[in-house]
Amino acid sequence: EDLVEADEQVVVQQVFANDHSLVELVWRERLPLGMNLLTNDESGHLKVVDFPRGSQARGVCELRQFEPDMFKGARVVAVNGFEYADQDDLFEALRDSTRPKTILFQLAELEEAEKVNRFVQSGEDTDCEDYGLNLPREFATYDVVFDELADLGIEFSQSIGNQCLSVSKFLEGNGGIVFAAERSGDIHIGDLLVRVNGKNAQGTCEEGQLNAIDLLESAAKTRPLCLTFAHSYLFRVVVERPAVTPGSHETGGPDEIMLDETRLSSGSRRVLIKGFNNVSGTVESSGIMLGDHLVFINGIPVGAGARWLGESPSPQLDEVQEMILDESFYPIGLTFARPMKRESRWGSSFENSQQFSDSEAETFCVTAESYEKLGCIIGSTSNSEVIVSDFFT
């Protein structure tokens, strides 16, 4: 009998039960949230710029089978079920280090997401373009003139493109005599013969080869003889799957290459390598996240690992970086540690995790064959412990 019928005077919070643009995610790891936020949006709301690679935020999305990019431009609505009228209070709630933490997002429309992206990019260096995508293509040639009536000492073969002749090797005379072509120092194995005394020595299919042979034969005793060469624009590369070191994760693969197809004026089609996709290195593909601690390198304690074993002083960050760059350490074994998750929020904070003990650590071992395959950058915390600070492809 004490119940009062609800009306607009007593409803204090809007319920979004049927709003499909709202998505709630849960952070459980005692690691940084891993969100890049826009704090000065014209709307006055906190907006998501992105969830960077290797971050806990990205891992949370993938666990729920969400595409991380769908959160670009999303508005942060609530933290742990509370909405904040003051955005400063909302930001402080995000900074609060307790875990688990729930965050409610309102996904942005495509137009709004693009606006946030443009705003962020406007503050970045826009002079840098994707290297290699818009480079001018030049076909440089060089001339070699022979004045003496003597053997050139060049052996030609069919070029890869089957349009002309290419230099396959240099011949030697009796007693190891070096002939004029090799002696010039300008001609290289694989270079293409494009002109003989100014006359075109190229053509389609076998026509180019026959044309070049005719020109060479007719000018065999002509001096001076001017041969025009170009460095080959085609080359063969055999790509083999590398042997995987036991305990390491395979990186790269077919997804790394971006292919494109173009149609030539002759009607034939050609497949081009348009570029390369960013792929995860061994560390990232092993599930290591930003903020994870590096504790051992080939069994040598560093950072928290040295603290656990009571070894002092612990190697400094520059010493750890030198160890990782040292080729003699490879194949390298890295041991990472992460504070164990706790179901209760009491005492389960990111700040407390900075001095966690080995008894409350979850460890991960990663093996890599080279530094380039590691794909991670290390940094240090305020208390000089070694952590993963970034990833590279």
Closest C-alpha to 393, from 238, 222, 199, 252:
252
Q: Is there a domain that residue 3 lies in?
A: no
Q: Is there a domain that residue 178 lies in?
A: yes
Query: How many helical (H) and strand (E) elements, i.e. helices and strands, does the chain have?
Result: 9, 22
3-state class of 152 per DSSP?
Answer: coil
Both 296 and 386 in one domain: the answer is: yes
Distance between CA 104 and CA 181 in Å, rounded?
73
The answer to whether 206 and 241 have CB atoms below 8 angstroms apart is no
Q: Is there a domain that residue 245 lies in?
A: no
- Supply the CATH number for residue 294's domain: 2.30.42
Q: What is the pLDDT of residue 4?
A: 55
Q: What is the pLDDT of residue 349?
A: 56
Give, as one character, the DSSP assignment of residue 383.
T
Class of residue 46 by CB neighbours under 10 A (exposed 0-12, middle 13-18, buried 19+): buried
Both 98 and 159 in one domain: the answer is: no
Class of residue 306 by CB neighbours under 10 A (exposed 0-12, middle 13-18, buried 19+): buried
User: In 22-176, which ranges are continuous DSSP H helix?
Assistant: 56-63, 87-95, 110-122
Tokens of 33: 């949230």
Concatenated DSSP letters of 298-355: TTEE-THHHHHTT-SSPPPHHHHHHHHH-GGG-SEEEEEEEEPP-SSSTT-BTTGGGG
Class of residue 268 by CB neighbours under 10 A (exposed 0-12, middle 13-18, buried 19+): exposed
Q: Is there a domain that residue 71 lies in?
A: yes
Give the Cβ contact number of residue 186 at 10 Å. 13
Q: What is the pLDDT of residue 314?
A: 86
Q: What angle do CA 386, 391, 31 make, to 5 degrees?
A: 55
Q: Is there a domain that residue 4 lies in?
A: no
Both 292 and 386 in one domain: the answer is: yes
Both 103 and 147 in one domain: the answer is: no
Closest C-alpha to 309, from 348, 335, 327:
335
Q: Based on the structure, what is the number of domains in the chain? A: 3
Both 176 and 215 in one domain: the answer is: yes
Percent of the chain that is helix, strand, coil (3-state, to 5): 20, 30, 50
Which residue has tokens 């070694």? Answer: 386
Q: Are strands 332-339 and 293-297 parallel, antiparallel or unpaired?
A: antiparallel
Both 198 and 294 in one domain: the answer is: no
Class of residue 20 by CB neighbours under 10 A (exposed 0-12, middle 13-18, buried 19+): exposed
Both 307 and 369 in one domain: the answer is: yes
Class of residue 54 by CB neighbours under 10 A (exposed 0-12, middle 13-18, buried 19+): buried
Tokens of 6: 């609800």
Tokens of 138: 């030049």
End-to-end CA distance of the chain: 66
Q: Is there a domain that residue 269 lies in?
A: no
The answer to whether 270 and 262 have CB atoms below 8 angstroms apart is yes
Q: What is the pLDDT of residue 200?
A: 92
Both 150 and 207 in one domain: the answer is: yes
Q: What is the pTM of this model?
A: 0.59
Q: Show the domain range for 197.
A: 141-230
Both 300 and 364 in one domain: the answer is: yes
- Supply the CATH number for residue 81's domain: 2.30.42.10
Q: What is the pLDDT of residue 127?
A: 46
Both 349 and 299 in one domain: the answer is: yes
Q: Which residues of the chain have pLDDT under 50?
A: 9-12, 15, 126-133, 346-347
Both 164 and 82 in one domain: the answer is: no
Q: Is there a domain that residue 236 lies in?
A: no
The answer to whether 261 and 269 have CB atoms below 8 angstroms apart is yes
Do you find a cis peptide bond into 136, omega within 30 degrees of 0?
no
211 vs 40, 73, 177, 218, 382, CA distance in Å? Answer: 68, 62, 30, 11, 72
Distance between CA 307 and CA 313 in Å, rounded?
9
Mark which of 62, 89, 120 sits at the end of a domain. 120
Q: Is there a domain that residue 316 lies in?
A: yes
The helix (run of H) or strand (run of E) holding residue 192 is strand 192-196
Q: What is the pLDDT of residue 5?
A: 59
Both 42 and 116 in one domain: the answer is: yes
Concatenated DSSP letters of 198-243: TEE---STHHHHHHHHHHHHHTTT-SSEEEEEE--S-------PPP
